[in-house]
Amino acid sequence: MKSLAHASHPTWYKSLCATACRAVPSGLIAGLFAAGTACARSVSEGGSAFAPVNAVTHCLWPRRALRQRGFSLRHTVTGFAIHEASAIFWAMLFETLIGRMPDARQRQQPVATAAAAAATAATAYAVDYKVVPPRLTPGFEVRLSGKSLAAVYVALGAGLFVAAMLRRPSR
Write the pLDDT tens digit of every residue in 65-78. 989 999 999 999 99
Amino acid at site 15: S
What are the residue boundaries of the structural domains of the chain, listed by start?
A: 19-167
Q: What is the pTM of this model?
A: 0.89
Instruction: pLDDT band for 122, please (50, 70, 90 cuts).
Output: very high
Three-state SS across 118-161?
HHHHHHHHHHHHHHCCHHHCCCHHHHCCHHHHHHHHHHHHHHHH
Regarding predicted confidence, which is higher, 8 or 149? 149
Write down the pLDDT at residue 8: 77
- pLDDT score recorded for residue 107: 60
**pLDDT tens-digit map of 132-156:** 999 999 999 999 999 999 999 999 9
Give 29-68 pLDDT, tens digit per residue: 999 999 999 999 999 999 999 999 999 999 999 989 989 9
Whole-number pLDDT of residue 9: 74
Q: How far apart are CA 171 and CA 168, in angstroms?
A: 9
**What is the band of 105 on the pLDDT scale with cuts at 50, 70, 90?**
low
